[in-house]
Structure 1
Amino acid sequence: MKVLVPVKRVIDYNVKPRVKMDGTGVDLANVKMSMNPFDEIAVEEAIRLKEKGIATEIVAVSIGEQKAQETLRTALAMGADRAILIVSETEVEPLGVAKLLAKIVEEEAPGLVILGKQAIDDDSNQTGQMLAALTGRPQGTFASKVEVEGDSVKVTREVDG
């Protein structure tokens, strides 16, 4: 089974973000960037599935500027087999990301798509749900454990308390 894992390039979680002088956003000049920590967990889960012999191929995909190649290289170094970069010099909103990922899902035909629960830069937590709706696939959110048996997936959900 092929597993698709979207990964996002964000400000490193150890860096304190600074607001631009004109107040229009976050100053990204000379700031360390890295893979979104929740996406890193998704890549690790895909690798665990591959080590168990369930997944046969892991495809990492990122949407953003050319520099997002660094994030994809990190995913490849972790154990992803291939990487796809959709270049966009402007910021893409969650619905746009979901539509682009839906097209990738259509072309790649993965058996499973694993997304991080949210991005630490915008905390939207929308892309996964919109992707499921656009592709007509079932979804499991806030997963703390994923078990795949044949064509079925059992997701243990993370809840407060």
Structure 2
Amino acid sequence: MSYEQGLPVSQEAASGPGLAFITYPRAVAMMPFPQIWAKCFFIMLILLGADTQFVSLECLMTSVTDMFPSTLRKAHRRELLLLCLCTVCFLLGLLLVTEGALYFLQPLISIFCSGNTLLLLSVCQSIAIGWIYVLMCPRWLGILREELEDGAEERDVWVSL
């Protein structure tokens, strides 16, 4: 593709949304039977987006339902919660179809998807899991003792980690 365009590879391959909607369609157009591959590619993108929405909404609904079980586990409350969440997501999604969407989206990506944020998140998760398992689950401490076969300082080691 770089050869046909007469550009170096570093300039040809874009990043971000341009990769999915500019670079890949150009590459698919150069393949044999491009109409079939283009349909498959864009159907895959649509299904990927729909699946991501299902998983995100289900995770959010489960979390909110677990926070307020007495209220939300009654008849038809789950559907109302789903309607509210979908409405909020739709209204927030309207921001992304405007011309200023990149100005709204780019800071979010750089803040929440950067390496330092992910590193901090993984360290916090490791600490939380260590504390939960050691302090809240004495049975797990017995399993850890069996695994280490040495036994006196495992709790101190896990708490300090």
TM-score (norm 2): 0.27
Higher strand content, 1 or 2? 1
Higher helix content, 1 or 2? 2
Structure possessing the higher radius of gyration over alpha carbons: 2
Which has the bigger relative contact order, CA under 8 A and spacing at least 6? 1
TM-score (norm 1): 0.27
